[in-house]
Amino acid sequence: MVDLKVKIGRMELKNPVMTASGTFGYGIEYQDFIDLSRIGGIVVKGTTLRDRQGNAYPRMAETPSGMLNAVGLQNKGVEYFINNIYPDIKSFETEIFVNVSGSTIDDYIITAEMLNDLDKIPGIELNISCPNVKEGGMAFGTSCLSAAQVVKEVRRVYKKELMVKLSPNVTDICEIAKAVEAEGADSISLINTLLGMAINAEKRIPVLSTVTGGLSGPAVKPVALRMVWQVAKAVKVPIIGMGGIMNATDAIEFLLAGASAIQIGTANFIDPTVSIKVLEGIEAYLVRHKFSSVNDIIGALEV
């Protein structure tokens, strides 16, 4: 029996396999396909203080080995989440994180405060990296000053696991990581999507209604892996790595690069059972290489 338990900040996950926000709904959407209790954690859809309709259709473009999305944080707001969704998911036997986004620092503070009271939500993932909203989102995550400020303010009111999700659309992601660590982030997740664009040449128009969108899928994996490796060396808090993970080998690469846990995103759309396959693949790898614990391979890259 290999030990799959990992520590991320102030909490322990039964295994390092999580699902990424915006790709896994509220978990409910996947119940027909998998046993949710087997995965380490779920990060539910980006939640904002108020209801958001998101951007106009079309919001998605398939690109080589990936996709662009411009959903724009469509959700019914934190109050709706607490009253209507939380009661249905709180019995899931996995750790449920809520991804929190906002247009202003006050939005972030109020939303985090409201979620702090929910027993079965052990943590939030602070989204300072959404590229698809006009104000807020990525605007907070692309300068050290604003990233530090929003983390500092949320840290004051939020008492549980505070995971901060970083944008790759910056010059030096390590500087941002250090800034959020200094203000009390318990863990850091990365990467959010890379800003990209697709064009319909025949019609001479952009494919997305917003012109630009966030790129995800295996196309971004090398970039994500590099950033996880750099950030893992730059900070002491645990890293949750993501970006184009399609199978167990991809996930193991992120662990070797220094991630203590991983999130699976876009791959869920293609194979809704992929998270279980990744989990089983990690376990098989550990057995095959005679490691007794998944912790033995975290940051074990030999350079």
Partner 1 sequence: MKKEMLDLIVKENKKLNDQYFLLILGSDTILPEMYPGQFVEVRVDNSPETFLRRPISINFVDYLKNELWLLVQIVGEGTRKLSLCKQGDLLNLLLPLGNSFTIPSTTDSKLLLVGGGVGIAPLLFLGTKLKEKGIECDFLLGGRSRDNLLQLDDFSAYGNVYTTTEDGSFGEKGFVTNHSILTNKKYDLIYTCGPTPMMKAVAAYAKSTNTECEVSLENTMACGFGACLCCVTDSTNGHVCVCTEGPVFNISKLKW
Q: How many residues interact with partner 1 (rule CB under 8 A)?
A: 34
Beta carbon of residue 14, minimum distance to partner 1 (angstroms, whole number): 23
Q: Quick one: angle between helices 173-182 and 221-234, nearest 10?
A: 50
Per CB under 8 A, 32 contacts partner 1: yes
Candidates 22-30, 78-86, 136-144, 233-241; binding stretch for partner 1 (CB under 8 A): 22-30
The reply to whether 130 belongs to the active site is: yes
Q: Is 206 in the site for partner 1 (CB under 8 A)?
A: no
Which residue, 9 or 243, is less far from partner 1 as judged by CB? 243
Q: Which residue's CB is nearer to partner 1, number 23 or number 260?
A: 23
22 vs 123 by CB, closer to partner 1: 22
Q: If you count them, how many residues does the chain have? A: 303
Q: Which is nearer to partner 1, 9 or 213 (CB)?
A: 213
Tell me which stretch binds partner 1 (CB under 8 A): 48-56, 80-88, 123-131, 148-156.
48-56
Helix axes 173-182, 144-157, angle to 10 degrees: 30
260 binds partner 1 (CB under 8 A): no
- Vertex 227 angle, CA 224 and 231, to 5°: 140
Least distance CB 59 / partner 1 (angstroms): 5
Instruction: State yes or no: residue 199 binds partner 1 (CB under 8 A).
Output: no
Measured between alpha carbons, how far is 141 from 138 in angstroms, rounded to an integer? 5
Amino acid at 211: V
Instruction: Pick from 2, 38, 50, 58 the residue near partner 1 by CB under 8 A.
Output: 58
Nearer to partner 1 (CB atom), residue 34 or residue 163: 34
- The catalytic position among 73, 100, 130, 208 is 130
Q: Which is nearer to partner 1, 24 or 158 (CB)?
A: 24
DSSP helix/strand/coil, 139: helix
Query: Residue 223: helix, strand or coil by DSSP?
Result: helix
Which residues fall within 8 angstroms of residue 45, CB to CB, at 6 or more apart?
Answer: 21, 22, 24, 25, 26, 75, 99
21 binds partner 1 (CB under 8 A): no
Among 11, 13, 17, 24, the residue binding partner 1 under the rule CB under 8 A is: 24
Q: Give start and end residues of each alpha helix (H) in 158-273.
A: 173-182, 221-234, 248-257, 267-270
Question: Binding to partner 1 (CB under 8 A): which residues in 64-103?
Answer: 64-67, 69, 71, 74
The H or E element containing residue 43 is strand 41-47
CA distance 181 to 165: 12
Q: Take residue 119 and report the two structure tokens written for it.
A: 């027993």
266 binds partner 1 (CB under 8 A): yes
Contact residue for partner 1 among 7, 14, 63, 157 (CB under 8 A): 63
Dihedral of alpha carbons 268, 274, 279, 285, sign: negative
Pairwise CA distance, residues 150 & 100, whole Å: 12
| Cα–Cα distance, 75 to 124 (Å, whole number) | 16
Active-site amino acid positions: 130
Return residues touching partner 1 (CB under 8 A): 22-25, 29-30, 32-33, 45, 53-54, 56-60, 62-67, 69, 71, 74, 217-218, 266, 268-273
